[in-house]
Chains A and B, each alone.
Chain A
Amino acid sequence: MNSSQLIGITTFTYLFSTILYAALFIFKTKRLGPVATVFTLIAFLIQTAGIGLRWLESYQMGVGRAPLTNMYESVVFFAWTIILIYLIIEWKFKTRIIGAFAVPFAFLAMAYASFASGITKEIVPLVPALQSNWLIAHVVTCFIGYAAFTVAAGLGIMYLIKNTSETRQSTNDSTLLGSLPPLKVLDDITHKTMIFGFLWLSIGIITGAIWANSAWGTYWSWDPKETWSLITWFIYAITLHARYTRGWGGTRIAWLAIFGFISVIFTYYGVNFLLAGLHSYGSN
């Protein structure tokens, strides 16, 4: 058994978790609840073992580095953090339906990591610029933030779905969406998750700046990746202020959670592929 196999298994177990949570949501079979939780927990442990094993393997190869330094590894860590945050929310707020909106993101991330072309899974050694503990701190903190924003977006989507249905029909406790937590609770969890993400994104940007300064003597150079992380940070700062000082809530915050998530994805993925592509295209 090697780490790639363990991580590969995780992809399918998260798919299965997704199905379980979706079934729980659609058929409202209460008995499925603990099954979904236990299953997700097992998948999470398998993934943890996979990441740990990959770390060990890198030492056996004489490369010796934390498994957090390329696209594949960061996506895997991203999925891992989404599940961790989701499980904490499930435990703290005693609600399982959120799983139907959070776990799919982890599955999608894992599917992307496993099947997308152009993502290498090999353990390659680190080029000199990447040999820094600040880099590890930077990746870990950024991805905790990104994962929290992903869960917040899932919650935002739930909020919007529930909200449209509530305005359409007055009492619907028997329907599909009746099983969703009350709007007020959703709004509250969304906000708390965003706050959590904002703190980590802030630390992520700061550790990134420290890393850049130790490598190049410039803590901020407005390169597209840095700039997009700042744009994302601004979007969440706007959201916090709009809520806290202007009393925004409900649908507007739900939309901002989704909007912020799009910016996260762009920071993380778009900058690497779209803008880099644009640049090389332009210079041809």
Chain B
Amino acid sequence: MKNRNPIWDFFASVKLALFTLFFLSTTSIIGTIIPQKETTQQYIEKYGEATANLFQILSITPDMYSSAWFLSLLSLLCLNLIVCSLDRFPGVWRQIKADNLNTPLSRLEKMDPQRRWQLDNPPESTAIALKTALKTSGWKTEERKLDNALLLFAQKGGMTRTGVYIVHASILVIFAGAIIGSILGFKGSIMLPETKTTDKAYAFGTNSPIDLGFEIRCDRFNIEFYDNGMPKSYRSQLVILENGKVVKEKAIVVNDPLSYKGITFYQSSYEPYPEFLITITNKKTGLSETAIIPYQQQRNLEKNDLRFGIINAEAQGQSVSRIKIWLSDDKGEPSLFWLDDGEQVTVERAQNNFTVSAKQMYATGLQVAKDPGVWTVYTGCALMIIGLIVAFFMSHQRIWLYIREETDGKSSILMAGNANKNKAGFEKTFQALTQTMNKV
């Protein structure tokens, strides 16, 4: 026996686990009632100066769940798990690896379920027949010769004893992933107007700039609506650039982000601008120009020798639906026409044709996250589910057959077995097995 150290025992105890889990659940409630991550000013307005102060001293605000005392509780849970597992696992491993052929007859005789019967053959041939019967039911047997007897043993699911430890380890893996993410990762956001490029995001909370290490551009942002006016999709056409060269392109929507070099961009919001994005292409020369132009201002496009402006627009809420454009190349009357937001039309002029597309300008709101711990967390989650299934629904089943040689050359058989869980289920298996054995 290992000498018991009281400190070790304290951290290995399930009582501590129950206490920690209880404490975690009750304290977690606080942060769901007192809103988190608001400003000091907001707290003072809501709760008064004195209470707001107290909350701050107790670290209940602004962010209880990352306060030192809450993290300590989580650490205590981890420590408890580690010590408890180290304490118990060796014993479980010994049980898995045990030499079950060493089990004394006295123990077999006390097992439940058990069955006894006799056969006319001597132990050796009986054993062969029984082994075949076991094998057809999927049990692999070992055997050992004893005085005047033969002991057969078969087992299933020894490894399922590790299920609980997989669950416990999975919790540690998830915590490890969370720690990796919080040390090596960041969370931030970008408000990126269409056609513009940036190489920075702004961290949540502090708003300090974070270098992305590459550039990102939003070529286009658009919103689709259902017939009833509810938003159907927010879509940003994003381009990643390194040293001015395009290295990746993707249209992202909510739930389908873009990842590049471990940094992921999520569609999260948008901002409509009181400006318009116009692209005009000269059909003859193929020359294309894009301009950002405010409402009701005239603009010259030098290369195409054109003048144009937005003279009217219709909007639903803050989103423009139709745009009226005035366009002239000083050859004949100016053109005046409506087009839908985002639509492309051909404008016929006396000496040339142009394709014109126009849309309201938006900035897309992106959430930017780098979290190298995510896959560790997901691995932990997968382990947890596997572990729970093993721990709850699988058991270690063992069967012994003690075949004793009788004086008249016959053999008497004692069949005994046990399972560490689901005893009722095992009893059925055992009964079914004895049925097949009886036919031997």
A residues adjacent to B (C-beta < 8 A): 62-63, 124-125, 127-129, 131-132, 134, 195, 198-199, 202-203, 206, 209-211, 213-220, 222, 224, 227-228, 230-231, 234-235, 237-238, 241-242, 245-246, 271, 275, 278-279, 282-283
Bound Cα distance from A255 to B267, whole angstroms: 45
The answer, among B17, B25, B369, for a CB contact under 8 Å with A218, is B369
A196 to B126, CA, bound (A): 43
A224 lies within 8 A of B25 (CB): no
Please determine whether A246 and B230 come into contact, CB atoms closer than 8 angstroms.
no
User: How many contacts between A and B, using CB within 8 angstroms?
Assistant: 111
Bound-state CA distance A191–B367 (Å) is: 43
Cβ contacts under 8 Å, A234 to chain B: 21-22, 24-25, 28
- Identity of the chain B residue whose Cβ is nearest the Cβ of A275 in the assembled complex: B32
Partner of B254, one of A128, A203, A230: A128
Whether B157 sits at the interface, judged by CB under 8 Å, is: no
In the bound complex, do residue A217 and residue B257 qualify as a contact, i.e. CB atoms below 8 Å apart? yes
Interface size on B, residues (CB 8 A): 50
B266 A128 Cβ-Cβ under 8 A? no
In the complex, B8 has a CB within 8 A of chain A: no
Instruction: Answer whether A128 and B231 are a contact pair too, CB < 8 Å, given A202-B384, A215-B266, A227-B28.
Output: yes
Contact yes or no, B377 A219, CB < 8 A: yes
In order of increasing CB-CB distance, the 9 nearest A-B pairs are A217-B369, A128-B254, A224-B32, A234-B25, A222-B65, A245-B14, A206-B381, A132-B255, A231-B25
Q: Which residue in A202, A206, A216, A245 is a CB contact (below 8 Å) of B268?
A: A216
CB B268 to nearest CB in A, in angstroms, measures 7
CB of B94 within 8 Å of the partner chain = no
Say if the beta carbon of B374 comes within 8 Å of chain A. Answer: yes
State whether A215 touches B381 (Cβ < 8 A). no
Can you list 21 residue pairs at the A/B interface with Cβ under 8 Å?
A: A124-B228, A128-B267, A131-B233, A131-B254, A134-B255, A203-B385, A209-B377, A209-B381, A213-B374, A214-B255, A216-B367, A217-B257, A217-B371, A222-B36, A222-B65, A224-B32, A230-B28, A231-B29, A241-B21, A282-B46, A283-B42
- Please tell me which one of the listed residues A128, A134, A231 contacts residue B28 in the complex, with CB atoms under 8 A apart: A231
A271 engages B255 (CB within 8 Å): no
Q: How far is the CB of A41 from chain B (nearest CB, A)?
A: 26
Q: Is the interface of A mostly helix, strand, loop or mixed?
A: helix
Contacts of A129 in B (CB 8 A): 254-255
Which of A127, A216, A275 is in CB contact (< 8 Å) with B33? A275
A127 and B369 contact, Cβ closer than 8 Å, known pairs A215-B266, A218-B187, A245-B14: no
Q: Among the listed B35, B46, B234, B384, which residue makes an inter-chain contact with A206, where contact means beta carbons less than 8 Å apart?
A: B384
B18 within 8 A of A: yes
Interface of chain B residues 235 through 282 with chain A (CB within 8 A): 253-257, 264, 266-268
Q: Of A63, A195, A228, A238, which one neighbours B32 at CB under 8 angstroms?
A: A228
* Given A199-B388, A278-B33, 15 more pairs with CB closer than 8 A: A125-B230, A125-B232, A199-B385, A202-B384, A202-B385, A203-B385, A210-B381, A214-B257, A218-B187, A222-B65, A234-B21, A237-B21, A279-B35, A282-B46, A283-B42
Chain B nearest CB from A190 CB (Å) reads 15
Measured in the bound complex, the distance between the Cα atoms of B178 and A235 in whole Å is: 22
B378 touches A (CB below 8 Å):
yes
Please determine whether B233 and A128 come into contact, CB atoms closer than 8 angstroms.
Answer: yes
B54 interface hit (Cβ, 8 Å): no
Docked complex Cα distance between A124 and B228 (Å): 9
Find the A residue at minimum CB distance from B17.
Answer: A241
**A122 vs chain B, min Cβ distance (A):** 10
Residues of B within 8 A of A134 (CB): 255
Contacting pair A222 B18 (CB below 8 A) = no
Q: Which residue of A lies closest to B369 (CB)?
A: A217
Question: Residue-by-residue, is B357-384 near A (CB-CB < 8 Å gives 1, otherwise 0)?
Answer: 0000000000111010010011001001
* Cα of A219 to Cα of B264 in the assembled complex, Å: 13
Contact B378 A210 (CB under 8 A): yes
Instruction: Please report which residues of chain B, range 38-91, place their CB below 8 angstroms from some CB of chain A when the two chains form the complex.
Output: 42, 46, 65
